[in-house]
């Protein structure tokens, strides 16, 4: 049903009609999300609908109905599963979206409790998973149930028993005779990625996202199918408890649950006041990409249970807790047009030009469609309403189109047969999904992208050589290849827009500094297809000098870690090509140089072979990148976050929460001198 019109000054009848539509629409989305595990819109759009209804009901209480979504939780249980009556309601949480709303929540809470001191909160990441209630009787798990509508859920014990981290019997002391443990079921990101990779190799269906994957696993009739998704569980509270242990705070409850053998999120902290909450939010937001689980915000709960009792709860949410959401990573917007852009390897990529939308902390007006096959699979056309995703610093992409909102029958965008930049032929190789311009560096777009890649931070690191300046150099014919950069003069640069003596001199100095580099950086800068920074570093370590690498056979290249048949073939073909050989020689003639080394031993014989390390804190006398390169050269692997699979945490000065997590998990902690001693072995 389409939404009713929204005039500037709506009458009471219009407001009532709008409220009715919002109630029905939110109920529909609740059913899709909670019962069918098939959400139609992003969480941000659902939040916007819910907040609009709540504002309407707040200003017009006569519009509140008993069945309003603001008066209930989630959706009722499915008839496919036995209903379970919760001993205590499983309430949802109210959301806040910025620091101002958090301050308002804190002030409102202050008026509900007697304690006038600064409030202490238990803060934890808000996992994007599925709420679960576990009933233990005399320490034995007897039932697992979903949230449902908050009062009645679904019995999913058969699936929950496949979660390895979930204890069937509680251990330790002071175990209540009967207790409902509340927590979140989630699919770890490494398991999600592995599942989809396996599905792609076997021709199976990929999972949409980790949250849907977890919900779908719990609703599997066959426990073996649920077990394939490798679910995990974090406990974060309790419902009804008989024979309550003497626990007065959330922080103590979490420690007690850990002693019973339940898994608790290691990122939980006790913070003071609004400033403490804000600091915790910033820390988790900055590190969100490093966790092995999806999260969409943080949760704050009053730490003291007696103050929670004073604050109370509404029919659907406690007044003593709130969730602060991260900036939406998915939003709805409209496609203005579909155009094509050409990359440095000639890849012709369809790009959706969008109505600007704020998503993932930035305003997005363009989003990639990856390749023509993806464009067809997602059925994206000009004028469509689409879901756009931007997570962290990832390039924005169109996740899916909503064809049910399409007006008319817009045409399917055609596959280009000519390059939009230079008019050359576009070819689509049989074994690839990406169409490519065949012109090479004759194509201005490929030339621009190749120069920008050459000058990028991970390559030659030429500060000041950005997209606009590169565009002018190509347009005026001053650079046909990277070696031309080293022949630029002050007069030539001064003739470009927004360039004067000082800025031109600074750029020339940066170009001169880049001549002294490393073989790994040089190889990455060449832009050999599929040779990223890690592969370039591995090639440089193994062969030691450019001459040895240029003479290497495919068999020798295949001996390098992370180099497979495709990459070996591309490296060999690159150095065998006459134009590429000429380009490399021109760079050497321009004065680029680096230390020549002997071939490095095989990393598999290194002292850290097969070991996983995490770096934290400031190291003395070496950068984080240098430490990473030395570890990889010794056969080790460096990851961003600490887990049970971590062998060593290398802790420099001012090590943060990673050290605490390593101590909790029993991971061995090394200081810098111990790391260096290992590397020397």
pLDDT digits (tens, 9 = 90+) for 20-53: 888 888 888 877 775 665 677 877 788 788 888 8
Q: Please check whether residue 67 lies inside any domain of the structure.
A: yes
Domain of 652, in residue numbers: 604-680
SS3 126: strand
Q: Give bridge partners of residue 669 from the DSSP assignment.
A: 649
SS3 171: coil
> Domain check: are 266 and 147 in the same one?
yes
Tokens 């058969």, residue? 158
Tokens 């939009």, residue? 420
Whole-number pLDDT of residue 183: 97
Whole-number pLDDT of residue 379: 93
Residue 680 bears catalytic tag = no
Q: Please check whether residue 595 lies inside any domain of the structure.
A: no
Tokens of 290: 């490093």
Pairing of strands 95-96, 321-325: parallel
b/e burial code for range 146-169 (CB count within 10 A of at least 16 → b) = bbbbbbbbbbbbebbebbeebbee
DSSP 315-338: SSSBTTEEEEEPSPSEEEEEEEEE
Could you report how far apart the first and last alpha carbons of the chain are, in Å?
Answer: 70
Q: Which of 46, 71, 96 is the last residue of a domain?
A: 71
> Domain check: are 50 and 171 in the same one?
no
> Domain check: are 90 and 222 in the same one?
yes
Whole-number pLDDT of residue 185: 96
Within the chain, which residues score under 50 in pLDDT?
Answer: 78
SS3 268: coil
> Domain check: are 46 and 92 in the same one?
no
Tokens 């009053």, residue? 302
- How far are the Cα atoms of 95, 106, 319, 539, 629 from residue 110, in angstroms, in the given order? 18, 6, 11, 61, 52
Q: 478 and 585 in contact (C-beta within 8 Å)?
A: no
Whole-number pLDDT of residue 395: 80
Q: Measuring CA to CA, which residue among 649, 648, 615, 618 is closest to residue 629? A: 615
> Domain check: are 456 and 541 in the same one?
yes
Whole-number pLDDT of residue 505: 95
> Domain check: are 312 and 337 in the same one?
no
Q: Please check whether residue 598 lies inside any domain of the structure.
A: no
Q: Please check whether residue 237 lies inside any domain of the structure.
A: yes
> Domain check: are 317 and 334 in the same one?
no
Tokens of 212: 């849907």
Dihedral-angle region of residue 481 (phi above 0 means left; psi in -120 to 50 means alpha; beta otherwise): beta
Q: Which residues contact 79 (CB under 8 A, 6 or more apart)?
A: none
Tokens of 412: 């399917």
Whole-number pLDDT of residue 72: 58
Q: Measuring CA to CA, which residue among 178, 189, 299 is closest to residue 243? A: 178
How far apart are the C-alpha atoms of 681 and 674, rounded to whole Å?
Answer: 11
> Domain check: are 388 and 352 in the same one?
yes
Q: 183 and 166 in contact (C-beta within 8 Å)?
A: no
Whole-number pLDDT of residue 37: 59
- Residue 54: which CATH number? 1.10.287.610
Crossing angle of helices 444-455 and 467-475, rounded to 10°: 140
- If DSSP states are collapsed to H, E and C, what string results for 75-107? CCCCCCCCEEECCCCCCCCCEECCHHHHHHHHH
Q: Measuring CA to CA, which residue among 415, 426, 403 is closest to residue 375? A: 415
Q: Please check whether residue 435 lies inside any domain of the structure.
A: no
Give helix then strand counts, H and E, for the chain: 24, 22
> Domain check: are 181 and 260 in the same one?
yes
Q: Please check whether residue 649 lies inside any domain of the structure.
A: yes
How far apart are the C-alpha atoms of 96 and 107, rounded to whole Å?
Answer: 13
**pTM across the whole model:** 0.53
Q: Please check whether residue 509 lies inside any domain of the structure.
A: yes
pLDDT digits (tens, 9 = 90+) for 620-665: 877 776 788 788 778 788 877 788 889 999 998 777 668 878 888 8
Q: Which of 554, 589, 624 is the last residue of a domain?
A: 589
> Domain check: are 387 and 239 in the same one?
no
C-alpha radius of gyration, the chain, whole number: 29
How far apart are the C-alpha atoms of 189 and 168, rounded to whole Å?
Answer: 24
Q: 493 and 513 in contact (C-beta within 8 Å)?
A: no
Q: How many CA atoms lie within 13 A of 245 on its CB side?
A: 20
Whole-number pLDDT of residue 42: 78
Whole-number pLDDT of residue 204: 79
In the set 120, 126, 301, 661, the catalytic residue is 126
Domains held by the chain: number: 5
Q: Please check whether residue 434 lies inside any domain of the structure.
A: no
Q: Measuring CA to CA, which residue among 559, 638, 547, 555 is closest to residue 602? A: 559
Q: Which own/partner contact pairs does 449-453 have at CB distance under 8 Å and 24+ positions apart?
A: 449/342, 449/343, 449/344, 450/344, 450/481, 450/482, 450/527, 451/479, 451/482, 451/485, 452/344, 453/344, 453/525, 453/527
> Domain check: are 170 and 309 in the same one?
yes
Q: Which of 421, 456, 490 is the last residue of a domain?
A: 421
> Domain check: are 133 and 195 in the same one?
yes
Q: Give bridge partners of residue 85 from the DSSP assignment.
A: 152
Q: Which residues contact 654 (CB under 8 A, 6 or more apart)?
A: 617, 618
């Amino acid at each position: 049903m389409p939404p009713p019109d929204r005039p500037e000054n709506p009458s009471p009848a219009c407001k009532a009609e709008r409220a009715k539509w919002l109630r029905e629409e939110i109920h529909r989305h609740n059913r899709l999300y909670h019962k069918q595990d098939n959400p139609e819109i992003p969480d941000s759009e659902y939040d916007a609908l819910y907040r609009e209804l709540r504002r309407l009901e707040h200003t017009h209480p006569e519009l509140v109905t008993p069945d309003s979504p603001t008066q209930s939780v989630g959706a009722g249980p499915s008839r496919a599963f036995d209903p379970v009556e919760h001993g205590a309601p499983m309430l949802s949480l109210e959301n806040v979206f910025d620091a101002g709303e958090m301050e308002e929540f804190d002030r409102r809470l202050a008026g509900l409790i007697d304690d006038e001191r600064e409030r202490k909160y238990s803060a934890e990441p808000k996992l994007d998973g599925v709420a679960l209630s576990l009933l233990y009787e005399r320490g034995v798990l007897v039932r697992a149930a979903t949230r449902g509508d908050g009062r009645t859920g679904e019995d999913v014990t058969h699936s929950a028993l496949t979660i390895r981290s979930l204890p069937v019997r509680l251990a330790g002391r002071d175990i209540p005779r009967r207790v409902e443990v509340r927590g979140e079921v989630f699919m770890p990101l490494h398991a999600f990625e592995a599942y989809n990779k396996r599905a792609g190799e076997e021709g199976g269906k990929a999972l949409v996202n980790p949250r849907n994957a977890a919900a779908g696993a719990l609703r599997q009739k066959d426990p073996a199918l649920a077990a394939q998704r490798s679910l995990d569980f974090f406990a974060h509270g309790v419902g009804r408890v008989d024979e309550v242990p003497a626990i007065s705070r959330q922080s103590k409850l979490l420690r007690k649950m850990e002693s019973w053998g339940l898994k608790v999120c290691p990122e939980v902290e006790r913070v003071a006041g609004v400033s403490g909450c804000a600091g915790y939010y910033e820390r988790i937001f900055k590190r969100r990409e490093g966790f092995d689980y999806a999260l969409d915000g943080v949760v704050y709960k009053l730490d003291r249970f007696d103050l929670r009792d004073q604050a109370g709860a509404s029919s659907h949410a406690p007044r003593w807790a709130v969730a602060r959401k991260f900036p939406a990573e998915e939003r709805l917007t409209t496609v203005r047009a579909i155009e094509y852009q050409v990359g440095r390897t000639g890849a012709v990529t369809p790009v959706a030009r969008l109505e600007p939308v704020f998503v993932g902390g930035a305003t997005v007006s363009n989003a990639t469609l990856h390749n023509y096959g993806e464009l067809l699979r997602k059925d994206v056309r000009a004028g469509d309403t689409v879901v756009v995703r931007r997570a962290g610093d990832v390039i924005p992409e169109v996740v899916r189109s909503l064809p049910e909102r399409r007006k008319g029958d817009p045409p399917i965008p055609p596959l280009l047969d000519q390059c939009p930049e230079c008019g050359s032929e576009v070819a689509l190789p049989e074994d690839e999904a990406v169409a490519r311009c065949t012109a090479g560096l004759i194509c201005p777009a490929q030339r621009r992208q190749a120069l920008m890649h050459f000058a990028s931070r991970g390559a030659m690191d030429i500060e000041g050589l950005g997209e606009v300046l590169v565009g002018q150099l190509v347009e005026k014919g001053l650079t046909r290849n990277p070696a031309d950069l080293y022949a630029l003069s002050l007069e030539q640069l001064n003739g470009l827009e927004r360039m004067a003596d000082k800025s031109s001199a600074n750029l020339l100095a940066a170009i001169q500094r880049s001549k002294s580099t490393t073989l790994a950086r040089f190889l990455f800068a060449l832009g050999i297809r599929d040779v990223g920074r890690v592969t370039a570093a591995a090639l440089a370590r193994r062969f030691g000098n450019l001459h040895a690498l240029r003479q290497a056979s495919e068999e020798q290249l295949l001996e390098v870690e992370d180099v497979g048949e495709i990459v070996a073939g591309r490296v060999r073909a690159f150095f065998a090509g006459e134009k590429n050989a000429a380009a490399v020689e021109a760079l050497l003639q321009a004065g680029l140089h680096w230390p020549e080394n002997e071939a490095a031993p095989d990393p598999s014989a290194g002292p850290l072979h097969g070991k996983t390390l995490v770096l934290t804190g400031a190291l003395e006398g070496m950068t984080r990148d240098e430490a990473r390169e030395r570890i990889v050269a010794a056969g080790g692997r460096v990851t961003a976050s600490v887990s049970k699979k971590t062998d060593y945490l290398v802790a420099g000065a001012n090590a943060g929460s990673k050290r605490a997590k390593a101590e909790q998990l029993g991971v061995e902690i090394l200081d810098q001198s111990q790391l260096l001693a290992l590397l020397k072995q």
